[in-house]
């Protein structure tokens, strides 16, 4: 039981480290308005690709992914 708990702590720490690394990326800064979006040939109207998606779908996808991770790691029992 203690070993399982320690493995779960390692998973949480790895997830936290990954999130911190992702926060340092240019994409994160652009998405959160911390860096300007540069015009490109792919987006002639200077509209980022994520603006075409419904934000509710993105939020729901993140919730499902987090719940799946919690179930797979044993935090939630079904």
* 10-residue stretch averages of pLDDT, the chain, 78 residues long: 90 92 87 76 56 72 88 76
- Secondary structure element (H or E) that encloses residue 59, with its range: helix 55-73
Q: What is the pLDDT of residue 11?
A: 92
Q: What is the pLDDT of residue 5?
A: 92
């Amino acid at each position: 039981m203690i070993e399982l708990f320690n493995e779960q702590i390692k998973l949480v720490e790895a997830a936290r480290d990954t999130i911190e690394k992702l926060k340092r990326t240019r994409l994160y800064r652009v998405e959160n308005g911390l860096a300007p979006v540069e015009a490109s040939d792919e987006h002639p109207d200077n509209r980022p690709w994520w603006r075409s998606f419904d934000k509710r779908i993105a939020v729901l996808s993140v919730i499902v992914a987090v719940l799946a991770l919690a179930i797979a790691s044993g935090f939630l029992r079904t």
